[in-house]
Amino acid sequence: MASAIPNLAKRYFDEVVPALTEQFSLPGPMAVPRVEKVVLNMGIGEAVANPKLIDGAVQEMAAISGQKPVVGKARKSIANFKLREGMPVGVSVTLRRSRMYEFLERLISVALPRVRDFRGLSPRGFDGRGNYTLGIREHIIFPEIDIDKVEKVKGLSVTLVTSAPNDEQASALLLSLGLPIQR
């Protein structure tokens, strides 16, 4: 049984690859930068005082991503924060292939337009190596989250890891995929 190819993946292969090959005069379609993975990370510092928050974060992250998240544990003990080594402090998910494209499609077309006072993403989210990170202050912008069942509104970071050698090519890739980055 062949799974359906997400619309964003089709658009990448049909429109973005030829356009970027011409724009950067690349030798062939395999040299065109692509999104390799999307990493979602939700840090929950309040979990030190209330460990139930981690369970809610795991369920909410699973709903957002469609994949079971990994619970991150503290590496060091910090007395001032009442934090002990091994305590759960966050959850993260790495999305690849079709799940990644489906998530990006939902992020671009549904979630980002629901952000209050949204004027586009900051162009300062690039790291110099072609990766882009954006912060989302309220995870309730995703339609999969039932607002009535949310105990506490949490923020999360979304990192788009690309194969682009520099920020210029990564920016062109993400803009052509439809990410609303300010210019």
Would you kindly state where each structural domain of the chain is located, as residue ranges?
34-177
Q: Which residues contact 76 (CB under 8 A, 6 or more apart)?
A: 83, 85
Are the beta carbons of 106 and 58 closer than 8 angstroms? no
What is the Cα–Cα distance from 48 to 1, expressed in whole angstroms?
45
Domain 34-177 of CATH type 3.40.605.10: no
* Secondary structure class of 138 (helix, strand, coil): coil
What is the Cα–Cα distance from 15 to 11, expressed in whole angstroms?
5
Reported pTM: 0.81
Per-residue pLDDT of the chain (183 residues; tens, 9 = 90+): 456 778 888 888 888 888 888 888 888 888 888 889 999 998 887 766 677 777 888 888 888 888 888 887 777 777 766 667 777 778 899 999 888 888 888 888 887 777 777 787 888 888 888 888 988 887 777 877 777 677 777 788 889 999 888 888 888 888 888 888 877
